[in-house]
Chains A and B, each alone.
Chain A
Amino acid sequence: MTTKPKASKAQLAEQFRSFIDPEYVITDDETLKPYECDGLAMYREMPMLVVLPETVEQVQRVMRICHENDVPVVARGAGTGLCAGAMPHKEGVVLSLAKFNRILNIDPLGRTARLQPGVRNLAISEETAQFGLYYGPDPSSQIACTIGGNVAENSGGVHCLKYGLTVHNLLSVEMVTAEGELITVGSDGLDSCGMDLLALVTGSEGLLGVVTEVKVKLLPKPEVAQVIMAGFDSVEKGGDAVGGIISHGIIPGGLEMMDGHAIVAADDFAQAGYPREAKALLLCEVDGTEEEVHEHIAEAEELFRKLGATSIRTSQSEEERALLWKGRKSAFPAVGRISPDYYCMDGTIPRRHLARVLLEMEKMSEEYGLRVANVFHAGDGNLHPLILFDANVPGEFETTEAFGSRILELCVEVGGCITGEHGVGVEKIRQMAVQFNDEELQQFHDVKAAFDPTGILNPGKGVPTLKFCQEYRSIEHKQHKHEQTDAAHG
């Protein structure tokens, strides 16, 4: 998107105020301020203006006006995203879906819910619990993040291995195109004729359309869930235990791993009774019918013992299960206590390379002089290294970013990817050049153009320009003499 907007801020505001409650067309700096960033606060930009439409028709009109005037549009849910995907464009409009917060329908028999995009993730499970149902994907921001944002990012959570990502739990998405047309992809059936546009739109980071309604699948709440906490004296043994349980044929509902730094920080914070001397901690949750859980828990305990667990504890009550999870769930704030700031990375790797990746990360940690704690969705290979830094020390965030960048490149090098669930946004746009070659990136641009020919939707995010990539690759090669790109595509 290089074209200059054809309308001024005042002209746009006037047009929007003709059909949107003037209070919800925000133009003053003070009220615009909270919109300048999403959950990744290191990246900030003030928007030209913010609109909060209340009807789908208003969204369509906003899009038509922006399309006619070449004005960039950044759709926004709760702003909890972690890749600056909702960071505003300085010459653009932030289109907040905050007013679209109603659950339109719950069908207990068909196990579906029809939602406006601003419905919070956790609210879906809370509202459907009365029918013994819940919504599967549970990103750690689930108390605040919205289903529209979940669709944009294809959000995951701790239960992905068994219950899938957002893309696996959708039936249909209604969205407004860049040109202001209302379309529905998917249907009430489990699949639709032709190419799978629903999958294409899911995880497209607001680059292909503005989501105005979502129909999700709901799952029956398992009868029982029990969690085993197992400590290991090395990361290798912890990693082997993950492989062991899966090879044994058990698919845990959740399978999380923490390294030594994260164990101590989380235990200090949550007093969950974690084995503080352990170098790796596994939380393995088995859910299902009573009989199934009973059978699998016994097998898993025996397996962990055989694979060298130094401590094993299995929850005997819901309270104990909640306590064991509390440490893991509060790992981020816990790390926040031992460091002024932290930066969360989001690479995915084939699990068999876990020990190697953690070891190399330790080396980098020494090289950059920054500590790193690791929490890991072990079941699906999604790493969340937390780099500890102090934003008040000049240059330390830049060093942190360079360190983070090396971690993501390492993930690609071992056959993984730069982002498992947080998205590319602005944050990882440089590393796209490591995971994809120019032809692949061009294909992405062409797909984008099929939906948004003039490129007004979330410009500058998700997919880098080819020129930018060539520059990045050449700098990288000079700096690190790495040849990840060739390795990844050779």
Chain B
Amino acid sequence: MADMTQQLQEQVLQARSNGQKLNIVGGGTKAFMGRAADSDAGALSVAEHTGIVEYHPVELVLTVRAGTPIKDIEAALAEEGQCLHFEPPRFGSASTIGGTLACNLSGPARPWSGSVRDQVLGVRLLNGKGEHLRFGGQVMKNVAGYDVSRLQAGAMGTLGVITEVSLKVMPKPAATMTLIQDMAMDEVIDYMNRRAGEPKPITGACWLDGKVYLRLSGARSAVEATAEKWSGDVMENGDDFWQQVRDLQHDFFAGNDVPLWRFSVDSTAATLNMEGNWFIDWAGSQRWYRGEATLSDLEPLAKAAGGQVSLFRGGDRSGEVMHSQPEALKAIQRRVKNSFDPDGIFNPGRLYSWL
């Protein structure tokens, strides 16, 4: 539970003056993500920079140091009957909030409860000049200045070292229930979208191996009444199932031999025509695919479905792993990167080869 800001700042300044690059590391559980880390760069560890800075349950706001493990945050919130309702995946007990934000990782409730990016209210970060800056704040509404806090989501540490994160937190739902039924893949897109369009307390909708799973959470009476009305059997240990989905611990995700691809697409897009194993989550918006392929094979499919694809785990990580960007957006992202990190110190090439 230490404030390591000063040490981190010194390391950044030193790296800058030595012309050295830095790979930012938190709990080290997301090393498999992004492009392979630059082997010539030194490591900048945020893991010791932990602790809750402020937590006011009544305000629904939590401020933590970036190296704080998700599990510690969740334990503190649970004592007050609250939770991170974007359900951040935990790839191990060391997974931190800083890494979660940098990788923009959210769990099965994402279409209804928002993503980590949606819940971020403010950050502090060290930019490439070693300046420790504060953006956003600890209140729900704040439109002063550009939204640099949410910009960090998905940037994979290329803009700076996140040192502190303020988040909106929510009450834990009073009741949860999961409904399960058999359904073919070509029917499920329409079905999940229809259910998501009803004003019912739905917080999860996924399809795997010929079965559709719907999760209801909220006031007990609402959950029970909806379960009565909707088809499907009540699943025993439904919560365990969603935990496995959330943490990518389900059998579908097991093993490293077959690459894991992630499609983020229009929820209503027809099922993508590719041989291999599919897992459809987020009521159709997030589709996991396991199979040998290349990014250039899959990009047209993702594009036709209104979205993007990335190589989430495994496969060749020396080339690009994220959906390619048009030239105009590349130019803007390079300039944005340059505005935060003019010497290109942080996580070189981790997000794109050109950034």
Contacts and interface: CB of A to CB of B under 8 A. Distances in A.
Interface residues of B, number: 90
Contacts of A379: 140
A288 B308 CA distance: 33
Contact of A350 (B61, B146, B171): B61
Given A188-B307, A192-B154, A463 B145 contact: yes
B171 A249 contact: yes
Interface stretch (B2-10, B69-77, B126-134, B245-253): B126-134
A328 interface: no
Contacts of A161: 140
Contacts of B353: none
B140 A381 contact: yes
**Which has the most chain B C-beta neighbours within 10 Å: A189, A348, A350, A422?**
A189
Nearest to A131: B197
Given A289-B225, A350-B59, A449-B335, A444 B146 contact: yes
Contacts of B339: 443, 446-447, 449-450
A311 B142 CA distance: 33
A439 B139 contact: no
B301 interface: no
Nearest to B330: A194
Interface string B323-346: 101101100110110111000000
B196 interface: yes
A5 B309 CA distance: 44
A447 B148 contact: yes
Contact of A421 (B59, B141, B159, B322): B141
Nearest to B151: A200
B222 A197 contact: no
B201 interface: yes
A195 B159 contact: yes
Given A168-B118, A195-B333, A249-B174, A109 B147 contact: no
B155 A188 contact: no
B286 interface: yes
Interface string B194-208: 101111110000000
A440 B197 contact: no
Interface range on chain A (Cβ under 8 Å from partner): 35 or more
A181 interface: yes
B144 A417 contact: yes
B144 A424 contact: yes
**Which has the most chain B C-beta neighbours within 10 Å: A191, A290, A448?**
A191
A165 to B, nearest CB: 7
A470 B224 CA distance: 60
B151 A199 contact: yes
Contact of A194 (B133, B155, B170): B155
A291 B306 contact: no
Nearest to B158: A195
Given A168-B118, A200-B150, A443-B148, A295 B221 contact: yes
Interface in A108-122: 108-111
Nearest to A443: B133
B285 A349 contact: no
Nearest to B219: A292
A109 B307 contact: no
B131 A415 contact: no
Contacts of B218: 288, 292
B104 interface: yes
A193 B222 contact: no
B147 A167 contact: yes
Contacts of B267: 110
Interface string A419-458: 1111110001000100110011001101111110000000
Given A188-B266, A191-B104, A295-B222, 12 more contacts: A168-B118, A189-B285, A190-B286, A196-B151, A196-B153, A203-B147, A249-B171, A291-B224, A350-B61, A420-B139, A424-B144, A450-B336
7 contacts: A153-B143, A185-B329, A292-B221, A419-B144, A424-B143, A443-B148, A447-B148
Which A-B residue pairs are the 5 nearest by beta carbons? A188-B306, A189-B307, A189-B264, A199-B150, A420-B141
Interface of A: 107-111, 131-133, 153-154, 156, 160-161, 164-165, 167-168, 177, 181-183, 185, 187-197, 199-200, 202-204, 208, 220-223, 243, 246-247, 249-251, 288-292, 294-296, 348-352, 377, 379-382, 415-424, 428, 432, 435-436, 439-440, 443-444, 446-451, 462-463, 489
